[in-house]
Structure 1
């Protein structure tokens, strides 16, 4: 009985501290706006990464002195810095476009209040401190018409999702509109099972949902196949149906939106991916100016025509002008069979000299090109500290000495060998003029019914399976034996990930090839050991490694004697989508120019656009692709034949 007052007292102290924290965060945000005002006149960049690095290093050390974990401190301050950067961008953007500064702005979005589009529009307007007059629409076309006719100032269109990929209807709409993209925003999508108060999960028989959430929650729905699905035009309509229904119906939507309709959440976290985000673009009748100190994106559409290397030529233009391409999407051109329109997001301001020069060159080599808009980028990459500062890798300075810049005549270079190396994995050839396709799966997926899945992978066109070990535990020999036997019976090569040198003696008995995971890319001992073996090896790029570091690791392997090496590009870390990696197609082009080693592209970690990225990788002369053994098996049945045809 004596503990209750003490607990209440502690809770009161915590509440008091929380109030103080909120007050301090508010003051810090106001100061960040004052910082933006000071940058108006002298055109200084919004971000000073050197100062951010010094700030974070100091805060991490101070946190350690007070018993706080370094990653805890970094997580908090990455969020605070992101908020500061986005608020400064919004302020400067408003100052550069005074004609758009309205106290009340009409916004068109999909569905009604409570839909994800409504939530995205609300947050976008709140950051810019403008009152939103909302206009719910029944379709994407209706949103575009509302803006074109002047009934709405802005339109919000979802463009891609980390789970279900690109929203093709929106890409097709952008081909036929004169609207300009003037902004972007990304929101977390937390899918819940929403029902009327006092409803019970076991009583639910019918689910209302928009097709996108249904796609994003496919695994949950497969596990609960007794639900009858009813498709709706938006998540808001789905919630409205439940609001007027009985206790046997539910909707898939956000808890925040469900609260507007008086619905309770029966289950949360329904999406296939734990981190599920949707990116929206903001369209308006007129383009805007982006201040030069604000990080900008430019989106354009382009048709290259059907001639060998046409897409590669355009990407080389961007490379020549030091412009990074952050997105590439292809869509068919209506009325022109077998031709495609490419959508590109590049990290550049349309007004910059480099971008203007690049556009002039692209206009000369492309059959059609149109700029859809230039706008402030809301992708705020966290400032990274050195591993040694996080006490993760104390010998990072030694690693830096080991990974020296490769010489021009190094074993991996084009000067050492002018033609692409051909590597044989069992009966599969990789490199030269051969294109290979592999599926990737964690060994934890393996069960007694895997044999049928292995046959399905073979029928879909895969030639082998990359087996990873997500738990990092010692794999049971009998389990590995059964898995490899079933892969062999299906005619599939087994490529097994290896983490430590001592695993080689066991794994070489089962594997046709081995994979060095990206996190082991700097492991010199493992590189040397496998370089002394006779098995083919795939070297996966570390998510934070540069191209030169990747090739330096390859050189360590090759110098040990084994020349059967394949480079595997799996993507670089995308801090806005922690569970997904951004595939670096620019690096594919660069590595192909520098090295004779075959390069395959692993898309199994990519959250979206896998089909388009696979096609782009094939056109950029990748030696193969890796897809997810579970999620991509259906799409591979039509995708893989297309990829083989492109390379034939």
Structure 2
């Protein structure tokens, strides 16, 4: 048997590749600035969506030829293209406003170093290659006063959050300031557990945090009920307390903020809602000019007359001039009961003829109107490929293409529906199965009580995923599977690579091929040669034909114990979300004898309705998030079993 390479050697190779990648990304960024210089000369738009589509289609095709799925390639290059667009915008913005160009900027923000406001400010300045002199402030009013007095060039104010919505204090402040909005930036809010270097999770007894992160991480904290919570005025204060304390204390904050205090992230992704972003506006004493080739936003405040349809009349003005309104917010007018001030973000350059004409018409109909600023929009919408461009058939699918009669997954090959046995659980036409799913990172020593509760609620098996696909901790795996066995739950373990089979088959009643490995021919062949039942999850970018082609690779190797798992397809308008494809459920059941289960653990909306619909359409089972409310799951399962 060929000896496996040493882990240190592999890590050295990966480090070398990472260094090369960073060097190439830096060169690509430099070239994007050269492109901006070219566009400055002949005033061409920042984005060429036709070229972007051609580029992405070619990269998807080349990536698949090298074993990379389309979603991975698109996610990577959407980030690269966004960075290129924002850097080009920053360059052109600077060239259009030479008087505002400085090597060093004084910036006012909320809190102290390490807060999310500080991170937003520092990233904004880094993109513009400006050295930041930071001024921490204790309130939004203090930020405005610091800029108005000339002590700061810019002020950063959080305006809205994807979890908590609009920040009303800032909207109220904008009514009474003469500052102009000159920019915007959006950052991801990623909560981590921060502690001193060399601290262990088992050491932590006290947790410092601002009330907002505590509420946003309530599910994580519920799983670690032994932690004593200490409230702080800011994340920076929480990190400062950890720095002054011993190794038994930790804080909730960002990984970047923690690094400023010499703290390390013991765990990340603590928030209940995985997509959590905050948008900041940048204010200055004077407005700026936005070059016409840069996508721009204009922000207005406006009071309408007290008559029916007054707001509608003003909005019709925008429609008449083909101006899109991206935000509308209302706030009470101070000292004037029952009257509202309206805040509007519109996608238009203030200097454009259409925007100037619209403003003239709005001034005639509105009781009060004021432009707060025109600035470059940092909302870079990903270029979408046509459906056909995404569905480039991989080599694995081409190599297994057969007539329907010969395809082992087809009903022509086997007219009767297949039943698959997972331990004591049957999945098939006449046997409906309820499965729970959770990442192995969520396992803790007291998990047995939760596993028993899941069994009593009606679940028969547990899918265990592994977000850290490079490491399998057998000691944790052994304890987890023992507790599942004692609770009477079958253990279904996710597998990422063929070499893990020898370890996982010792603990599992069945294995799961995650969607991202659906095109992994070596893994499918290895599992097809084993005797364990397998669940094959559909890739979020795969067609029905590609899904069944991967199933065919598995079946051709000999193992016929295969369950198809529909977990959702990617929605390009909301790339962070997955939508269960019930149409594919119907189509696959019509053409294949293999059982199909529906995984709703990634779905955020209408789970109950989707579960009932999937059951009516012939799904052989359902997968739910193991950490959702067990009583809610029990009620849903009772309804499904009754329907069956």
Q: TM-score scaled by structure 2? A: 0.59
Q: Partner of 1:293 in structure 2?
A: 293
Question: What is the Cα deviation at residue 311 of structure 1?
Answer: 2.2
Contact 1:580 1:605 in 2 (8 A): no
Q: Partner of 1:240 in structure 2?
A: 240
Q: Cα deviation per residue 1:543-579 (whole Å; 9 max; x = unaligned)?
A: 98xxxxxxxxxxxxxxxxxxxxxxxxxxx9256xx35
Q: Partner of 1:214 in structure 2?
A: 214
Structural mapping, 1:63-142, within 5 Å? 63-142=63-142
Give 3-state SS (helix, strand or coil) of 1:262's partner. Answer: coil
Question: What is the Cα deviation at residue 109 of structure 1?
Answer: 1.1
Counterpart CA distance in 2 for 1:387 and 1:116 is 38
In the alignment, does 2:317 pair up with 1:317?
A: yes
Q: Partner of 2:386 in structure 1?
A: 386
Give 3-state SS (helix, strand or coil) of 1:274's partner. Answer: coil
Contact 1:120 1:185 in 2 (8 A): yes
Counterpart CA distance in 1 for 2:344 and 2:435 is 37
In the alignment, does 2:140 pair up with 1:170?
A: no
Structural mapping, 1:465-476, within 5 Å? none
Q: CA 1:317–1:193 in 2, change beyond 3 Å: closer, same or farther?
A: same
Q: CA 1:29–1:265 in 2, change beyond 3 Å: closer, same or farther?
A: closer
Q: Partner of 1:431 in structure 2?
A: none
Counterpart CA distance in 2 for 1:605 and 1:392 is 30
Q: Partner of 2:144 in structure 1?
A: 144
Give 3-state SS (helix, strand or coil) of 1:301's partner. Answer: strand
Counterpart CA distance in 2 for 1:81 and 1:369 is 36
For the pair shown, the structure with the greater C-alpha radius of gyration is: 2
* Count of aligned positions: 415
Contact 2:61 2:392 in 1 (8 A): no
Question: What is the Cα deviation at residue 383 of structure 1?
Answer: 0.9
Q: Cα deviation per residue 1:405-428 (whole Å; 9 max; x = unaligned)?
A: xxxxxxxxxxxxxxxxxxxxxxxx
Q: TM-score scaled by structure 1? A: 0.59
Q: Cα deviation per residue 1:591-625 (whole Å; 9 max; x = unaligned)?
A: xxxxxxxxxxxxx979xxxxxxxxxxxxxxxxxxx
Q: Partner of 2:60 in structure 1?
A: 60
Q: CA 1:283–1:579 in 2, change beyond 3 Å: closer, same or farther?
A: farther
Give 3-state SS (helix, strand or coil) of 2:371's partner. Answer: strand
Q: Cα deviation per residue 1:495-518 (whole Å; 9 max; x = unaligned)?
A: xxxxxxxxxxxxxxxxxxxxxxxx
Q: Partner of 1:355 in structure 2?
A: 355
Q: CA 1:257–1:70 in 2, change beyond 3 Å: closer, same or farther?
A: same
Q: CA 1:173–1:226 in 2, change beyond 3 Å: closer, same or farther?
A: farther
Counterpart CA distance in 2 for 1:227 and 1:320 is 58
Question: What is the Cα deviation at residue 209 of structure 1?
Answer: 2.8
Q: Partner of 1:645 in structure 2?
A: none
Q: Partner of 2:375 in structure 1?
A: 375
RMSD of Structure 2 on Structure 1 (CA): 3.3
Q: Partner of 2:192 in structure 1?
A: 192
Contact 1:305 1:367 in 2 (8 A): yes
Contact 1:163 1:272 in 2 (8 A): no
Give 3-state SS (helix, strand or coil) of 1:573's partner. Answer: coil
Q: Mind listing any 5+ residue stretches in structure 2 that lack a counterpart? A: 395-433, 437-461, 463-539, 541-568, 580-603, 607-627, 630-644
Q: Partner of 1:155 in structure 2?
A: 155
Q: Partner of 1:37 in structure 2?
A: 37
Question: What is the Cα deviation at residue 359 of structure 1?
Answer: 1.4
Q: CA 1:574–1:171 in 2, change beyond 3 Å: closer, same or farther?
A: farther
Counterpart CA distance in 2 for 1:201 and 1:13 is 30
In the alignment, does 2:280 pair up with 1:253?
A: no
Contact 1:275 1:579 in 2 (8 A): no
Q: Partner of 1:307 in structure 2?
A: 307
Q: Partner of 1:526 in structure 2?
A: none
Question: What is the Cα deviation at residue 314 of structure 1?
Answer: 2.1
Q: CA 1:68–1:222 in 2, change beyond 3 Å: closer, same or farther?
A: closer
Contact 1:210 1:231 in 2 (8 A): yes
Q: Cα deviation per residue 1:36-59 (whole Å; 9 max; x = unaligned)?
A: 111112211011111111121222
